[in-house]
Structure 1
Amino acid sequence: MRHAADGLAALSLLHDWQPDALLLDLDLPGVDGFAVARLLRAREAEGAHLPILAISARSGGDEVDLVAAAGMDGFLRKPITGAVLAEALATLMQRSASRRAA
């Protein structure tokens, strides 16, 4: 696991590191999570797909649609328990494995 303090740091970190999944806060300082996700998707190799789980304390109601439009795979609203996070990541990883096998 690695941590980035802001969107630019996340993009820099992900330039040389291929995680199994990404937990991405939508409200990162500087470059927000939506922009990070769009930039990551734009530079992914054909057939590649990094599972991205968005998190936020936002309560606007349209987050799920905005997250999907930015190319992310799921959304959790803060506060998040460890059990909920673990279940969401496991589901994301299963979907990712199924996508690679297809």
Structure 2
Amino acid sequence: MKSFEGLLDFLSLVIVHAPDDFPKEDYLRDEEQLTLEKAFEEIGNGMQFVANKIPDEKVLQQLRSYLNSSLAAYRQGDDIKGAQLLQDFERIILEQNY
């Protein structure tokens, strides 16, 4: 992920395919395929782009909380709650930037 827009695109992929229906990429080895854990790690890495656009630390903390809660919900088998929290995360980012 190389940009804020890339993060938004990736979020859409995760929302649709999490927790365990990620597309299998032919050019990647099995251990390199996208998993729930790797997806959330990548979103966490993409927070640098969010921080560049949203300077408010309180909002950034709220966004990190949504990510942590979403991952926890997925891990507990609550896919609907996990997806809703990711959608809330995405909505806040978009509201702050448009």
Please confirm whether the aligned pair reaches a TM-score higher than 0.5, indicating the same fold: no
- The structure whose RCO (Cα within 8 Å, separation 6+) is larger is 2
Question: Would you tell me which structure has more helix in proportion to its own residues?
Answer: 2
Question: Would you tell me which structure has more strand in proportion to its own residues?
Answer: 1
User: TM-score if structure 2 supplies the norm length?
Assistant: 0.35
User: TM-score if structure 1 supplies the norm length?
Assistant: 0.34
